[in-house]
Structure 1
Amino acid sequence: MSKYMLIMRGTDETNAAMMANIDEMMATTRQFIEDMMKADVLVAAEGLDDPRQGVVVDFGGEAPVVTDGPYGETRELFGGYFLLDVATKQEAVEWARRVPAVRGSKIEVRRVAEADEVPQGGESNGQV
């Protein structure tokens, strides 16, 4: 089994569309979470707060610069995630295809690296 993160990515437009139908979206999402729990694949699921409440710490210069949200040039924002423990990448993709999402949204599927895959002491095995 491997862990995969399904990262919800949206725009101002998709977020507005979701909020316009929030009761329906929440009911559909609750059912989706229940389905994942019944299949015993759900490890965690969280939604993120409004990006206007966040900050960005930018390490582009000599000293980190902190900027309050919203972020002017951001085209997509992470809205939340589902963390699954499944047998294959394809299984994670199949769950991602079922995520309740509005038109224009994206779900990024990323495998979570195991501790023994992270380079130690200058070693590199090609995975991060």
Structure 2
Amino acid sequence: MPNDDLVSVRYIVDDVDAAVAFYTSNFDFTVLSNPAPAFADVVRGRLRLLLSGPTSSAGRPLPDGTTPTPGGWNRIHLIVEDIASEVARLRAAGLAFRSEIISGPGGRQILTEDPSGNPIELFQPAAR
């Protein structure tokens, strides 16, 4: 698939190799490129996740001295068919979650984090 057919999201990470291992082993991403330690990109479907470490160009301080850091509330959103079984599988693999599964009008969701603290939302749409 050409890169222009992909939707790209950049995450600042503390350790590129740890992030690659996390996304490939837990969420079925595949490695597109991995010139670590500065950067790697992984793909799942049409999502290209750019994993930028501290030595990447995206990790450089801004003119005011602010350094990009991982974390926050913006997140990638991964649709799953059975959220309860996905949560059980990931908990068994050692992942922690920010809360329990919550339900809303559109479906059920839960947040976990990558090794750098970047959030990942697992979402099971409501039955239609």
Q: What TM-score do the two structures reach when normalised by structure 2?
A: 0.33
Higher relative contact order (CA 8 A, sep 6+): 1
The structure carrying a bigger helix percent of its residues is 1
Q: What TM-score do the two structures reach when normalised by structure 1?
A: 0.33
Q: In terms of Rg, which structure is larger?
A: 1
